């Protein structure tokens, strides 16, 4: 027997596998954060990242499972695996950051699909290492029946601790490169506890010291890599600072006397630009006869607030902005006069999530302005849903006006822009009976409950703008002319009226899916026809497809000899749990962001709760489900039933979440996610025990179960995040989740009947 065998009972194995779990989670989250910077946070890119990550795990687990039981010189392979695991996170991070230097990209422009695919593939090597490592160290740890379940629990426990650390420490304070270096350091510390040769321990200590020194210089290296990345984009601007807040990455650059801001890779704003902001303020002031109370939801620091405050009619101006650190940095870079203007006692700043402010505010306003990008992601879509507009209605006084803007087209509303604008307009019209849309490359939309609130024509708007000042306004009243062209307004209204549009909701973000077609056009095309096809497919066809999938999951494992049915059931249980588990994490994250706000550290807490649940479920199954084949199959059925019920629990919670107190709703969501993790965690050790009872070697079955689990997670990440949520909605995905686990449970009952 190899000298490393049977180490699974010691603290060294616990430390190593906990470190492996922590390393995988920190590396994954840090790389994903950088991926969002490259591709503007679009969920297609996020789904692709997770897909490539889990695909790498599948390949690694399958390869390791096939070969690990035949390997000799295990100590050498251990060393190679640990060195590769320690080097890969920072190296892949550096490759992602410097991608513009070796693959041409433009600043603030959505990359093409080839670049998305390439960047997604960069995540695969780290995922492959995760897949290679688990079966290998399971083989080295010993051959007992329950070893895989025990190691799975330790790995999940390490991931849970890393999720908590990321939620409360790394997300608010650490840059992606720092997080990647820390992931490597954690792995080396776990390896130090595992290594049993003095020479290995000395070498590991040296490596820990080296990575610690790099970690101390992590922020400096981060800024240097960000400078290299930005300079390679060829924007002509001078890089100043890369700022990582709790919510996004922001780059500040200068071009002459102007400061440019890029958020998560996309262009946000530039300042000082008094003429542009003065025009925006003029258009807004022209929309209400007496705009005494105004609120800007999402921003306004760069100049819009200053220009609105020049009007003596404005008695109170509120800015609602979640990212306090970004707000401070913007204000510190404003011209002296603008900073002084923001000291105006009429200005009030609220550092809170916009949705929460809308839900809890007791104030009413004459003018509510949504200062947010297009609904290019499911997260941004929350500012354009039916539930959000209903909240805005409560903020407006009887003659109040809502103002927002969207990407449009100056002269032609095509197949991409039309459905997207129509979905937002239809959603607005279901709340506000009076709507005015001003065409242009940037569409300006105004909505109100009262007919007389909206100016009926151009002279009325000009008059309102002039009356907002005691004397001559900052701009001639004719500046309004550029937006108000009656013929174009009438044509746009006619075109949008002919588009059949569905309402955009929190639990069914159709505007997000419609905007993906606009996003695809700017990304170089190639998927617009496919995206259009998804939109045009009837919802009933999607529902029929989901039902057919459940039937296949039920009947397909029944084909074959009865003796191998338990093994097939074990793999089906793991596959459906992997799919549903990833769906649960995606659902919980999007639900949290949509209902309670964009709080990155709280989303990491959702992941930590799920991983903690996995550890609890895996521990229970390891203790109870590894005695004999019958007990293993019984616990598989228990896991299936529990996971089916949690799907229904999620659906019920989402139906009432909007009406619950915020603290109670957040707590319930976290608890539900943890319970889901516990139910899903039962499948892995129970299925491994079933396969072990049928004579499969420990390394082989560890690789097989790991590969099936992560392949299902790969499918879940790609399909649920990109396809099913926009087309079916969150509630329907919960029902699919319940249906899949019910189908798996039926296979388990067939095993019981056959004895």
Evaluate if residue 525 carries a pLDDT over 60: no
Distance separating alpha carbons of residues 622 and 616, to the nearest angstrom: 10
pLDDT tens for 396-413 read 998 899 999 987 765 555
Q: What is the mean pLDDT of residues 116-130?
A: 82
Is 72 buried (19+), middle (13-18) or exposed (0-12) by CB count in 10 A?
exposed
Same fold, 1-228 and 537-755: yes
Residues 6+ apart with CB under 8 A from 599: 246, 247, 353, 592, 593
Q: What is the mean pLDDT of residues 535-558?
A: 80
739: left (phi over 0), alpha (psi -120 to 50) or beta: alpha
Query: What is 280-520's CATH number?
Result: 3.40.50.150
SS (H, E, C) 654-672: HHHHHHCCHHHHHHHHHHH
**pLDDT at site 490:** 84
| Residues above pLDDT 70, as percent of the chain | 86
Global pTM value: 0.82
pLDDT tens for 213-246 read 888 888 899 999 989 888 887 778 899 999 888 7
pLDDT tens for 161-183 read 888 888 788 877 888 899 999 99
pLDDT tens for 51-98 read 788 888 888 887 887 777 676 777 788 888 889 999 999 999 998 888
Query: What is 1-228's CATH number?
Result: 1.20.1250
**Which of 54 and 469 is assigned the larger pLDDT?**
469
Of 519, 544, 499, nearest to 727 (Cα)?
A: 544
Query: What is 537-755's CATH number?
Result: 1.20.1250
Residues 6+ apart with CB under 8 A from 493: 437
**pLDDT at site 315:** 95
Work out the mean pLDDT of the chain and round it to a whole number: 82
**pLDDT at site 214:** 86
Q: What is the mean pLDDT of residues 619-642?
A: 82
Contact between 159 and 24 under an 8 Å Cβ cutoff? The reply is: yes
How does residue 471 score in pLDDT terms, banded at 50, 70 and 90?
Answer: confident
Q: What is the DSSP string of 163-190?
A: HHHIIIIIHHH--HHHHHHHHHHHHHHH
**Which of 463 and 698 is assigned the larger pLDDT?**
463
How does residue 323 score in pLDDT terms, banded at 50, 70 and 90?
Answer: confident
**pLDDT at site 623:** 79
Distance separating alpha carbons of residues 207 and 202, to the nearest angstrom: 9
- Number of residues written out for the chain: 755
From first CA to last CA, the distance across the chain in angstroms is 36
Domain borders along the chain are 1-228, 280-520, 537-755
Give yes or no for a cis peptide into 272 (omega within 30° of 0).
yes
For residue 648, report the phi and psi dihedrals to the nearest 5 degrees: -65, -35
């Amino acid at each position: 027997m190899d000298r490393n065998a049977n180490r699974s009972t010691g603290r060294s194995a616990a430390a190593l596998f906990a470190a492996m779990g922590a390393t995988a989670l920190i590396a994954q989250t840090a790389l994903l954060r950088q991926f969002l910077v490259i591709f503007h946070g679009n969920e297609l890119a996020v789904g692709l990242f997770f897909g490539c990550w889990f695909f790498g795990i599948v390949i690694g687990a399958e390869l390791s499972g096939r070969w690990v039981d035949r390997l000799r010189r295990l100590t050498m392979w251990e060393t190679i695996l640990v060195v590769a695991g320690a080097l890969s996170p920072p190296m892949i991070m550096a490759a992602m950051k410097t991608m513009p230097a070796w693959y041409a990209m433009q600043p603030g422009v959505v990359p093409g699909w080839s670049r998305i695919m390439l960047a997604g593939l960069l995540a695969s090597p780290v995922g492959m290492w995760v897949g290679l490592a688990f079966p290998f160290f399971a083989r080295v740890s010993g051959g007992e029946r329950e070893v895989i379940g025990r190691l799975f629990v330790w790995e999940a426990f390490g991931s849970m601790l890393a999720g908590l650390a990321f939620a409360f420490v790394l997300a608010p304070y650490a840059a992606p490169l720092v997080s990647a270096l820390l992931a490597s350091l954690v792995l080396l510390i776990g390896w130090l506890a595992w290594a049993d040769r003095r020479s290995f321990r000395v070498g590991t200590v040296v490596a820990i010291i080296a990575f610690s020194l790099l970690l101390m210089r992590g922020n400096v290296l981060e800024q240097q890599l960000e400078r290299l990345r930005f300079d390679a984009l060829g924007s002509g601007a001078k890089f100043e600072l890369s700022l990582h807040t709790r919510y996004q990455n922001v780059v500040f650059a200068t071009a002459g006397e102007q400061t440019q801001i890029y958020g998560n890779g996309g262009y946000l704003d530039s300042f000082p630009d008094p003429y542009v902001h003065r025009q925006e303020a003029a258009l807004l002031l022209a929309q209400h006869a007496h705009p005494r109370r105004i609120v800007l939801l999402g921003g306004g620091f760069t100049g819009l607030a200053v220009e609105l405050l020049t009007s003596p009619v404005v008695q109170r101006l509120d800015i609602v902005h979640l990212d306090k650190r970004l707000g401070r940095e913007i204000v510190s870079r404003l011209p002296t006069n603008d900073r002084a203007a923001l000291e105006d006692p009429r200005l009030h700043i609220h550092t809170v999530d916009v949705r929460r402010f809308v839900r809890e505010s007791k104030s009413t306003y004459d003018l509510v302005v949504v200062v947010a990008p297009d609904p290019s992601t499911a997260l941004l879509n929350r500012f354009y849903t039916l539930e959000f507009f209903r909240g805005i209605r409560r903020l407006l006084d009887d003659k109040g006006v809502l103002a927002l803007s969207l990407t449009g087209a100056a002269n032609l509303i095509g197949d991409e822009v039309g459905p997207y604008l129509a979905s937002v307009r239809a959603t607005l019209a279901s709340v506000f009976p009076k709507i005015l849309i001003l065409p242009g490359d940037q569409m300006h939309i105004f909505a109100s409950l009262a007919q007389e609130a909206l100016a009926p024509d151009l002279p009325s708007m000009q008059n309102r703008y002039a009356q907002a000042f005691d004397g001559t306004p900052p701009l001639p009243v004719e500046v309004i002319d550029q937006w108000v062209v009656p013929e174009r307004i009438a044509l746009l209204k006619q075109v949008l009226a002919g588009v059949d549009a569905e309402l955009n909701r929190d639990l069914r973000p159709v505007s997000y899916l419609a905007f993906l077609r606009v996003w695809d056009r700017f990304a170089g095309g190639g998927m617009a026809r496919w995206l259009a096809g998804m939109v045009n497919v009837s919802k009933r066809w999607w529902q029929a497809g989901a039902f057919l999938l459940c039937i296949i999951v039920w009947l397909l494992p029944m084909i074959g000899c009865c003796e191998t049915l338990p093994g097939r059931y074990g793999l089906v249980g793991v596959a459906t749990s992997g799919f549903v588990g990833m769906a649960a994490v995606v659902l919980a994250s999007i639900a949290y962001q949509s209902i309670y706000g964009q709080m990155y550290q709280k989303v990491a807490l959702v992941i930590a709760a799920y991983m903690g649940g996995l550890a609890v479920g895996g521990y229970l199954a390891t203790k109870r489900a590894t005695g004999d084949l019958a007990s293993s199959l019984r616990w598989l059925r228990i896991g299936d039933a529990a996971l089916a019920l949690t799907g229904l629990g999620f659906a019920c919670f989402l139906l009432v979440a909007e009406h619950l107190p915020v603290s109670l709703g957040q707590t319930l969501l976290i608890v539900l996610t943890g319970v889901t993790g516990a139910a899903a965690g039962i499948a892995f050790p129970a299925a491994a025990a079933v396969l072990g009872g049928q004579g499969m070697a420990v390394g082989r079955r560890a690789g097989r179960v790991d590969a099936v689990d992560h392949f299902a997670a790969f499918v879940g990440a790609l399909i649920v995040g990109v396809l099913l949520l926009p087309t079916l909605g969150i509630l329907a995905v919960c029902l699919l989740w319940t249906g899949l686990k019910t189908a798996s449970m039926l296979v388990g009952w067939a095993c019981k009947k056959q004895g």
